[in-house]
Structures are given as C-alpha cells and as structure tokens.
A and B are shown apart, each in its own frame.
Chain A
Amino acid sequence: MSVAPISAVLTSSVTPTAYISSASPAGAAAAGATDGAFASTLASSVDGLQAMQAKTSDLAVKAVTGNLADVHDYTISATESAVAMELTATVRNRAVEAFNEIMRMQA
C-alpha cells in the first residue's frame, strides 16, 4: 500500500497564518518542515507515515518468506503504523473541521 504525498498542491495555495509560523518551531522542526506552514507539516507527517508503513510491509514480506527473526518486530511495527495512521487521520480531520467551521461563518 502506498500513499501519494500531497505537498505539491497545498504548499503553493495555502499561506501560513502568522502565529503558526512564529510559534510552532518545535512541531515543525520535528516533522521536518522548514517554513512552519501547516500544509508542509502535514505533508512531511504523511511522508513519515508512509515510511513507517513501508517498513511494516517489508517485515510482512519477511514474515511470509520465513526471514523474520523476531515475530514481535512485525506486530510492533504494524501497531506503530496503525496508531500513526490514526494520528495523521485525526489531525487531517480536525483541520478540515476547522476549515468548514470558518466557511460557515456569516459575513
């Protein structure tokens, strides 16, 4: 399973809010984003998730071909990528929720 990165669409069309770019160096640095925009932070988090899932499927292949040294390596990796997937989905859902909230505002 592979997830296509979404950075190309978002970084150009979304301008960062001022307080996020100045106030979130910790989260942005951890996620590997440089400009602090939410879009690129989310994109790099999706990249991280993709790497995690690639590792899991690599271990799954090792398991079925009999090259897996430790059974728990696979199950732990699968658990980690499931939780990371859920985390990324939650962040994305909250962002969309906030966006919809703004769109519902009366002029």
Chain B
Amino acid sequence: MGTFAAIGIAGSALGTYRKWLDAVSDNLANLNTVRATDETAFQARYIVAQANDAQGGDSGGVHVAAAAYGSAEGRIVYEPNHPLADAEGNVRYPDIDMASQMTQLIMAQRGYQANASVVDRAREMYTTALQIGRS
C-alpha cells in the first residue's frame, strides 16, 4: 500500500458505487418496458462487486467483477388493448420491483457519499501530518 492508499481504495469504491447507480438507473428506466409474450422480458441488471484482494495481494479496494441479470421470464400481465398483446390478451413486463430499486438507489448514494468522505478525511489527515513541527 502506497502513500495515498486510503484515497485509492475509496476511489475504487466510488467507481463501484457509480456502476451500481448506473445499473439501478437502467432498471428504473426500463421498469415499464413491455414486450410481446413470445419474446423474453427486459432483464434487470445487477453488478457483482468483488474485493481486489480476492485473489491475494494487499492493494485493497473493490471492483465490479461481472454483471448479473434478472429473470427473463418477467411478469405476464393481461392487457388486451396493448398493441403487443397476444391472442389471450397478455403482454410481458420485466420482473423489477420498484421499491427494491429505490432502496438500492439510496444504498448506492449513501455508499458513494461514505467513500467520498473517506477521501476528504484522508486528505485532512495527510494535511495534518504535514503540519507536524511547522510552528
């Protein structure tokens, strides 16, 4: 770990939370994306976070290892007036829970803020170290 390890580690976390925010944003944007029943539903996007040290090492930090996708099945909804409705009057909605996505939105935001304040505190601490013996 180098001189500014804390800042680098918090920076990697900021990147991860930003990608989580992107994923949630995509899920919320496609919350009402309707498909015909012979197609797969829009699949919710989730990120898989992994510690940078998972394969050994002592660099610290986190990264996005992969994206995971939700159910392709979706929800079958009876909407006979919908232009995409099949013979039985059904369409396919994505299986995304808005309340859950909003909760994740808050978690991503708070995680981002927490790591941003780590950067600030680390800077304050390094500045304090530079003040030692100054006066």
Contact = CB atoms under 8 A, between A and B. Distances in A.
Contact of A79 (B14, B18, B123, B130): B123
A8 to B, nearest CB: 26
Contacts of B119: 72, 75-76, 79
B130 A72 contact: no
B9 to A, nearest CB: 11
A83 interface: yes
A80 B18 CA distance: 20
A87 B2 CA distance: 14
Nearest to B10: A76
Given A70-B18, A83-B4, A83-B123, A76 B11 contact: yes
A58 interface: no
Interface string A75-98: 110011011101100100000000
Contact of B7 (A70, A80, A90): A80
Interface string B1-22: 0011001101100110010000
B130 A90 contact: yes
From A70, A79, A82, A86, name the one whose CB has the most chain B CB atoms within 10 angstroms. Answer: A79
B127 A70 contact: no
A80 B127 CA distance: 11
Contacts of A80: 4, 7
Contact of B15 (A72, A75, A79, A90): A72
B126 interface: yes
B72 interface: no
Contact of A70 (B14, B116, B126, B130): B14
Given A79-B119, A83-B127, A70 B15 contact: yes
B11 A72 contact: yes
B7 A72 contact: no
Interface of A: 70, 72-73, 75-76, 79-80, 82-84, 86-87, 90
15 contacts: A70-B14, A72-B18, A72-B116, A72-B119, A73-B11, A73-B15, A76-B8, A76-B10, A76-B119, A82-B123, A83-B4, A83-B123, A83-B130, A86-B127, A90-B130
